[in-house]
Structure 1
Amino acid sequence: MPNLKVLMDRGSWGVLKSTIPPVTAPAWTSFITGRNPGKHGCFDFFMPKDNLDVMFPMNSNSICCETLYECLHRKGLRSILINLPETYPPKTSDIMISSLMTQGDNCVFPEELKEEIKQLNNYKIVPKASKDRNEWLKNIRDVERMRFECATKLLRSKEWDLFFILFSGIDWIQHNVYGELRNNPTKHAACVLYSDIDSYIGKIVEEVNDSCNIFIVSDHGFKSYKGVFYINEWLIRKGYLTVGYEPFSARPQGHLLYQELIGMIKNKKKIKPFLNYERTKNIWKIEALVTSTINKLQPFFDIDKPTHPIVRKSVAYCTSSESKGIYINSRSRFKDGIIDSDDYHRLKKRLIDELCHMKDPNSHLLFSAVYKREEIFNGPETQRAPDILLEPADFEICGGVRSRRFIQKNTNGHSMEGIFIAHGSDIKNIQNIHGLNIVDVSPTITYLLGLPIADDVDGRIINEIIKKDILEKRPIIKEKACFPLKGTEYILNDDNEIRNRLKDLG
């Protein structure tokens, strides 16, 4: 990616630490607010509200503190935002093309822009899903090409003080082929997407004048996992999660085999001559062996397959793979909660103790870390987070209900290590900066725009990348944090469209 290399060689760069967990919704919200999720309140795309089994989609009105673009709007500066998560519904009169959580087809604001820039009429938030890899890659490339073309038109024709664009395609493709790309980094078919994005970045840099400061960041990194761990299946087996079951529905021969084995166990007189054993103690050994075999075969025959969690009757539950956490169904938090305050802390401690000692199929610790929510978040919204947060080691964490706890297959997921590159008229040329966090980007941009920093921001100004003369003539000014604006009210009649978008992306 030659254009990225030029920016790195001429500017400053380093590893950017993401949020815990390193997932899209909380990470980008921390980026644009400069605050941890305990202050902005966004922990996942969907979150429980009154009850643990009632999930609501997060949107711009869910963010409980002021964003960078709201701050600029309040100061009379202009923003253009393209594909920034959690920006729907719009909260300012700035130009915005919203992201995944948009309700309905229109994601362009103000809508009149479609008449002025014709490409916006064909703009798509996400690519069309396809099981064919080549077609999927083509669809991603088409979406990103259209995103770039629309961005270029806006760059040239509109006035702005902050311009943001998110190219999501690399994230989408890496979920599918990251491991393959690492093994074949130059010849893999997906490499063409990286060339596309690098080219778009180079052309955008050419469009802006020399006085601009350019930041390139990611909300997380990527890594390969050895398999998948289904946390809700573990909760079921431990008795923490209650589920509904469906009748046996496997192939007829599987059902007959199962019934025959059960019958043999129940009728010891029948099993004895069948296996020609003379001593009764051997019959019990055979019974134990057959029972063990049935248990191993159960996932393949779908015997008593769990179909849905009965959350209101459950002690604990993982609401989604994105959350990387466990909610405890406490009465103090949920209307239909079943865990009393006196039992809550004992239960949480027991869960954490069990999780900390769990091993994967290779006898390695399953989690790199297990946290109480208050250990990693701070702020008034911390109480909305999962009670326990998990950092996976070699096995990615998934929600859902499956008949097996582990699936051993190579899979790809997020990591804590994102990227950070800064280049521009106010930026030094420093290689490989350490100690960067995603919450640091917003206050740094705010400072470079000559604005005061809110007093409740968690991030720091990255002084080490800013030229000395800028720091000397521009003191850091703090101001009292302002309340967030209220976005356009809307009624969510059906969130299936949003869920399907997320499902299509994996």
Structure 2
Amino acid sequence: MRVLCLGLDGADFDLVQELRGQGKLPTIGRLAGRGTFGPLRSTIPAATPTAWSSFLTGLNPGGHGIFNFSTNPNRSLERVESAASRGGAPFWRTLGAAGHRSAFVTVPFTFPPEPLDGVLVSGYGGPLEPAILPAAARERILERHPGLVTAHHPMKERWWENFDGFTQKLLDHVDQIADVCKLAMELEPDLALLCVDFMSADFAGHLGWHRLDPNHPAHRPEEAGDELVRVYQAVDAACGELAEEAERRYGEEPTVLVLSDHGMKPIYWTFHLNRWLEEAGLLRYRRRSLQRLRRTRLDYLAKVDQRLVRTRKPYGRAFDRLPLPAAPEDRLFADIDFGSTRAYAFGYGGQLFLGEASGALGDAGLERELVAALEGVRHPATDEPALEVHRKADLYHGPFVHKAPDLVLLPRDERLHIDASRWGWEQPFDRHEQLDPAHAYGYSGHHSLRGILAAAGPGIGEAPLPEGAEITQLPATLLALLGVDASLDGAPLDAILDREGTREKVTVATTAASEESVYDEDEEAAMLERLRDLGYE
């Protein structure tokens, strides 16, 4: 059996359903007609590193420990996260132990690369230039594509100056990654599983929703465009080509799954969580700090300042009395006075932490008060309750629960984006009418929980996707298709499988998550700058 697992990154269920009904996504349409199609629930938070880490390991975030692109330094050593800091075992190890060869192409959070029985091309969430294993594959792939990147960075390439040009780069990247997949098939005549992610679809969603949606607050009729649809169509076409190539090369019909790691909704309003906490008297910003010295000759002073404000309760207020320059408006994490802060937001997807230095962590009464107050926040347009609030204990289990947020906020209206930035916003709610790359990253779309799964071919029955199907279940499902059983948090989606027979039980060693960064200081600084540009830090 040959299995293709093809990622339409960030593809939104409702939009795909609409386009499928219009006949604009024929590959997904064929899969849905012959097998299964439905919404695939992402992780909470629906963040790229979190969702793909659950896809790779079959574990909930408390089991693999990745909640964001970088760690909350109050809960772990400060670093940019990577595959080395993830717990669990990527399921290519299980495949290899069962004698199956695999290829993983630009799947996010696969750097640093790990040797496997097959081919690995690292993806988003690492260096822009992918790492490729083995050496023979690297030589062959880079010979064909010498300028290969994991994804085109929209801020670095100043997308707002020429959106048509940037869209063309996204479309060209789809073709390029599809060709890399064909090279992987050529290099691996015994390939059992090919996994790939097309990151272009995610960036098209972040950047293009206001051009597609005439009701978007930032929509301008003279700037209307279907770039988001065109990228979805390009990936759909690439998936069809890869299925055809696999059948031609291997002489058998492949089993094809098309998935997304999360959905993508237009942003109509933004809820600035740290601003709300500040107004509630639960968060205090410093008036003075040494964070302006970061990455200067006096960088060591900024690091000392950061450590003290996070660990010494009186430090922030005492430092404010000194005759020093004011903290910048674009505040860094260490510009929060943690000794006086009882709750703060960090990372993507509505993550809220109780204050450590202030002694609020573990305060059950404060947690109850926060839940009640946040559930009472009203939607700016409808005056209905705006937020769902979930407690850590209800979401996560495993060895890394200590890294998890204490509460996670989800919008009841998915057009509401929950923001953790530390800018000096005037009020908690903003209508998202201006797309300013300097302040709000220029994004008009954001991640949501409902992605997609479409699947058909040998081993897949004609059955509806079970309600509540999750991305965490896909590793066990892919293993089951190939006759392998593994003990993972996510059980296989047996309702869509029609293969009978026993599954070989395979156990592999799990990785002890490293506390050390795989990047040097300059690399970390560059990656953090890119992540802040993209709104993730």
Q: In structure 2, what is the equivalent of residue 204 of structure 1? A: 242
Aligned counterpart, 1:261? none
* Cα-Cα RMSD: 3.0
Equivalent position to 2:480, from 442, 447, 457: 447
In 1: Cα distance, 2:104 partner to 2:330 partner: 43
Residue in structure 2 matched with residue 403 of structure 1 by the alignment: 425
1:307 & 1:440 partners in 2: Cα distance? 39
SS of the aligned residue for 1:81 comes to: strand
* Partner SS state of residue 208, structure 1: helix
Quickly say closer, same or farther: Cα 1:208–1:463, change in 2 above 3 A: same
Structure 1 portions without partners, runs of 5+: 248-301, 331-336
* 2:520 aligned with 1:492: yes
- Aligned equivalent of 2:256, options 211, 214, 217: 214
Q: Is the 8 A contact 1:221 1:415 kept in 2?
A: yes
Classify the secondary structure of the residue corresponding to 2:30.
helix
- For the residues of structure 1 that align with 2:417 and 2:259, how far apart are their CA atoms? 24
Q: Which residue in the other structure is 2:114 paired with? A: 91
- Are the aligned partners of 1:73 and 1:92 in contact in 2 as well (CA < 8 Å)? no
* Cα gap change, 1:205 to 1:406, in 2 (>3 Å): same
Return the match for 1:193 from 231, 252, 261: 231
Structure 1 residue 370 corresponds to structure 2 residue 389: yes
Give the superposition deviation at 1:57: 1.4
TM-superposed CA distance for 1:208, in Å, is 1.3
* 1:140 pairs with 2:170: yes
Contact 1:11/1:430 (8 A) holds in 2: yes
Q: Residue 187 of structure 2 corresponds to which residue in structure 1?
A: 157
Separation in structure 2 between the aligned mates of residue 451 and residue 370 of structure 1, nearest angstrom: 37
Match of 2:27 in 1: 3
1:123 aligns with 2:165: no
- The answer for the alignment partner of 2:221 in structure 1 is none
Distance change (3 Å), C-alpha of 1:190 and 1:435: closer
> Is the deviation greater in 52-61 or in 21-30?
52-61
Q: Paired residue for 1:329?
A: 355
Identify the range of structure 1 (386-395 vs 476-485) with the bigger mean alpha-carbon deviation: 476-485
CA contact (8 A) 1:38 1:381 kept: yes
| Native 8 Å contact 1:100 1:502 kept in 2 | no
Pairing 1:426–2:459 present = yes
Mark the CA change 1:304 to 1:91 in structure 2 (over 3 Å): closer, same or farther.
closer
CA distance in 1, matches of 2:183, 2:225: 33
Q: Give the whole-Å Cα distance in 1 for the aligned partners of 2:366 and 2:206.
A: 34
The one-character-per-residue Cα deviations of 1:305-360 (angstroms, maximum 9, x if unpaired) are: 6844325323222122x142111122xxxxxx23166x622222222221111123
User: How far, CA to CA, are the matches of 2:28 and 2:147 in structure 1?
Assistant: 29
Unpaired runs of at least 5, structure 2: 1-24, 216-223, 290-325, 434-443
Identity of aligned residues (%): 23
Query: Is the 1:246–1:305 contact (alpha carbons within 8 Å) kept by the matching residues of 2?
Result: no
Cα distance in 1 for residues equivalent to 2:151 and 2:528: 12
Shift, 1:452, TM fit: 2.2
SS of the residue corresponding to residue 101 of structure 1 reads coil
Q: Which residue of 1 aligns with 2:273?
A: 231
Tell me how far 1:390 sits from its aligned partner.
0.5
Task: Give, in angstroms, the shift of residue 205 of structure 1.
Answer: 0.4
Q: Identify which of 359, 363, 369 aligns with 1:339.
A: 359
The amino acid across from 2:380 in the alignment is: P
The structure 1 residue matched to 2:502, chosen from 469, 475, 488, is: 475
8 Å contact from structure 1 (residues 41, 384) kept in 2: yes
Which is greater in Rg?
Answer: 1
**Structure 2 counterpart of 1:71:** 94
Aligned-pair CA distance for 1:432: 5.3
CA distance in 2, matches of 1:67, 1:146: 25
* Corresponding pairs, count: 436
Structure 1 residues 154, 195: closer, same or farther in 2, change over 3 A? same
Q: Post-superposition shift, 1:83?
A: 1.4
| Bigger Cα displacement from structure 2, 482-491 vs 28-37 | 482-491
Q: Any idea what SS the aligned residue of 2:110 has?
A: coil
Change (3 A) 1:155 1:497: farther
Output one character per residue of 1:227-285: Cα deviation in whole Å (capped at 9) or x when no partner: 111111112222222213489xxxxxxxxxxxxxxxxxxxxxxxxxxxxxxxxxxxxxx
| Distance in 1 (alpha carbons) for counterparts of 2:30 and 2:507 | 39
C-alpha deviation, 1:442, in angstroms: 1.0
**CA 1:157–1:228: 2 relative to 1, 3 Å:** same
Equivalent residue, structure 2, for 1:57? 80
Alignment of 1:244 with 2:286, yes or no, is yes
Give the aligned residue type for 1:206: E
Question: Structure 2 vs 1, CA of residues 311 and 479 (structure 1 numbering), >3 Å: closer, same or farther?
Answer: farther
Counterpart position of 2:67: 43
The reply to whether residue 26 of structure 1 matches residue 50 of structure 2 is yes
Shift of 1:129: 3.8
Q: Secondary structure at the match of 2:165?
A: helix
3-state SS of paired residue (2:226): coil
Q: Which amino acid aligns with 1:123?
A: L
